[in-house]
Amino acid sequence: MFSRHSDLPFERDQSTRFLPWIVALMVFLGALMFAAALVVSDAVDTWDNSLTGRMTIQIPENETPGDTIQKLTEALQSAKDITSVRIVPDAEARALLIPWLGEGVLESGLPIPSLIDVEIDAGSRIDSVLLQARLAEIAPNVAVDDHRAWLSALIDLARTAEILAFAILALIASAAVVAVIFTTQSGLAVHAAIIELLHQMGARDSYIASQFQLQALMLSLRGGVAGAAAAVIVLLFFGWIGRGIDAAFLPSLSLSLLDWIFLLLVPAGAVTIAMLTARVTVLRALARMP
Amino acid sequence: MLRFENVGLRYGVGPEVLRDVSFALAPGSFHFLTGSSGAGKTTLLKLMYLALRPTRGLVHVFGQDVSMTPRTELPDLRQNIGVVFQDFRLINHLTAVENVALPLRVGGAKQVEIDSHVRELLSWVGLGERLDARPSTLSGGQQQRVAIARAVINRPRLLLADEPTGNVDDRIAVRLMYLFEELNKTGTTVVIATHNNALVEKFGHPILRLDDAELSVRRKLDTKETS
């Protein structure tokens, strides 16, 4: 298939010389954008799964005399839609502060609030204000931390970033389409005499279009492979850097196997777009011939 | 085979370059197309090989009204029309064999079939030693023979030639005419546009004569044309 001889001397076209470079750049940028979208999407899913359906009850240290914690726990267990209540051990609570305040927090006399971790039935929505009012009857300064409030703002922001990444990807694809259209139209003009000859011999439009399509395949494949290879190197580098960053809540910069497989769609998509664009451009031009 | 009824053609808003052209070619006939330079011979040939559509009148090719034929069916008609162009129109990056093979490839013939037929025909027109030569390395006469071989390789039902003997000496010209006659004997309808009155007279086929954009059909040359 790839060694198929062409009636049109594409190798002499100056206009086609730049197409692999353009496709390589498009694929490189497209792959980075797609990877960014995948990273954000993975992060949103992780945040969503780990934090949705949870609440944390904070009781200031000076409000935990006697059986206050126990009463709060019982009140929570009896509340509707709460599936699990767990008192967070003091050591675990302090460990949560280590990334922010350092190891010294373990020995310091810093007052640490008592924490109760609450899991809510999936799909139910508990009114955190109402719950806080009920719990305040037991411990007046108790705080109900509903993760959904700030998480939903964070997820909205991440989703916006994800949409933006896909929008940029679509713009890159559009730019690739325009580049292929111009290259193909230039090829049609350069080879007009031979195309007219083939047309007169009875060549069907598809016969001529398939030659341009094959040429677009070869050029975009060359550019696509180069662009994808460059993107892989950059993404592996980012992944390597990401492994050295200890930030619990930042999205992981490493891609999963599935993400890498999805990334293959970028060069494959670029090649497909180039082929189809070339074919459609040629067919539309030939349709104007008698 | 080929019928024109009151065909007129003008380019843009210019004057008619062909006016009320009417004629019919019977299957297996042989005609010369003559006329002074600029009389419209090439334009008439273009109408015959469907490179142009008339601005008025009807063109029937192989019994089909071209104006009523869907565009998707025109390639089938064109594959049955062989054309020898005045400027040869050989493809420079292809060898002689590849140029001659084009109509067969366009028609979807198998490679084995293409190879044997093309080599045989090129040998017959005296280019057996130049099979893999590119057009730029061939003389004008050799290029013309490649162009003729390309036009006849798929045994077209209609062969149109625009000054096919213009670049060859008299001996080769006569030999090429014999090739066209051989093809004509196998049933191909032939139209040769030429200025070469000696050839027209020698072979004596009927003449389509274009003068002032109008066509007339004659059995032989006028006395003043032969003198």
| Residue in chain B nearest A202 by alpha carbon | B75
Which of B53, B59, B71, B93 should one mutate to test binding to chain A, selecting the residue with the greatest count of A CBs within 10 A?
A: B93
Burial (0-12, 13-18, 19+ Cβ within 10 Å), A283: middle
The answer to whether residue A122 is domain-embedded is yes
Distance from C-alpha of A113 to C-alpha of A61, rounded to nearest angstrom: 5
Question: Do residue A172 and residue A220 come from a single domain?
Answer: yes
Count of CB pairs separated by less than 8 Å, A with B: 49
Tens-place pLDDT, residues B202-218 = 998 999 998 887 888 87
Judge whether B206 and B219 are in contact, CB under 8 Å. yes
Given A109, A141, A173, the domain boundary residue is A141
Phi, psi of A113 (to 5 degrees): -70, 155
A113 lies in which domain range?
61-141
The answer to whether residue A23 is domain-embedded is yes
Provide the shortest C-alpha distance from residue A238 to chain B (in Å): 48
Among the listed residues A139, A133, A128, A137, the one whose alpha carbon sits nearest the alpha carbon of residue A55 = A128
Confidence of residue A2 (pLDDT cuts 50, 70, 90): very low
Mean pLDDT of chain A: 84
Question: Is a pLDDT exceeding 50 seen at residue A203?
Answer: yes
The H-or-E segment that residue B160 falls in is strand B158-162
Question: Do residue A163 and residue A274 come from a single domain?
Answer: yes
The residues facing B21 across adjacent strands are B7
Lowest mean pLDDT among A72-81, A144-153, A219-228: A144-153
Question: Do residue A227 and residue A166 come from a single domain?
Answer: yes
The residues facing B33 across adjacent strands are B193, B208
| Residue in chain A nearest B48 by alpha carbon | A200
Question: Do residue A83 and residue A209 come from a single domain?
Answer: no
ipTM of the prediction:
0.89
Among the listed residues A197, A174, A154, A201, the one whose alpha carbon sits nearest the alpha carbon of residue A52 = A154
Question: Do residue A116 and residue A237 come from a single domain?
Answer: no
Q: A-chain residues within 8 Å CB-CB of B79?
A: 201-202
- What's the pTM value of the predicted model, to 2 decimals? 0.77
Tens-place pLDDT, residues A209-238 = 999 999 999 999 999 999 999 999 999 888
- Write the residue in A194, A197, A202 that is nearest to B75 by C-beta: A202
The answer to whether residue A4 is domain-embedded is no
**A66's torsion region: left (phi>0), alpha (psi -120 to 50) or beta?**
left
Confidence of residue A242 (pLDDT cuts 50, 70, 90): confident
- Domain count along chain A: 2
Question: Do residue A167 and residue A29 come from a single domain?
Answer: yes
Question: Is a pLDDT exceeding 60 seen at residue A247?
Answer: no
A109-144 core/surface letters (b: 16 or more CB in 10 A; e: else):
eeebbbbbebebeeeeebebeebbebbeebbeebeb
CATH of the domain at A104: 3.30.70
Q: Which amino acid is at B193?
A: A
The answer to whether residue A104 is domain-embedded is yes
Question: Do residue A75 and residue A118 come from a single domain?
Answer: yes
| Residue in chain B nearest A203 by alpha carbon | B106
Please state the CATH superfamily assignment of the domain spanning residues B2-80+156-226 in this structure. P-loop containing nucleotide triphosphate hydrolases (3.40.50.300)
Question: What ranges do the domains of chain B cover?
Answer: 2-80+156-226, 90-155
Yes or no, beta carbons of A201 and B79 under 8 Å apart: yes
Distance from C-alpha of A136 to C-alpha of B46, rounded to nearest angstrom: 96
Question: Do residue A166 and residue A281 come from a single domain?
Answer: yes
Provide the shortest C-alpha distance from residue A211 to chain B (in Å): 12
Q: A-chain residues within 8 Å CB-CB of B98?
A: 5
Name every residue whose Cβ is closer than 8 Å to that of residue A37 and which is 6 or more positions away in sequence.
A162, A165, A166, A169
Question: Do residue A70 and residue A182 come from a single domain?
Answer: no
Yes or no, beta carbons of B102 and A7 under 8 Å apart: yes
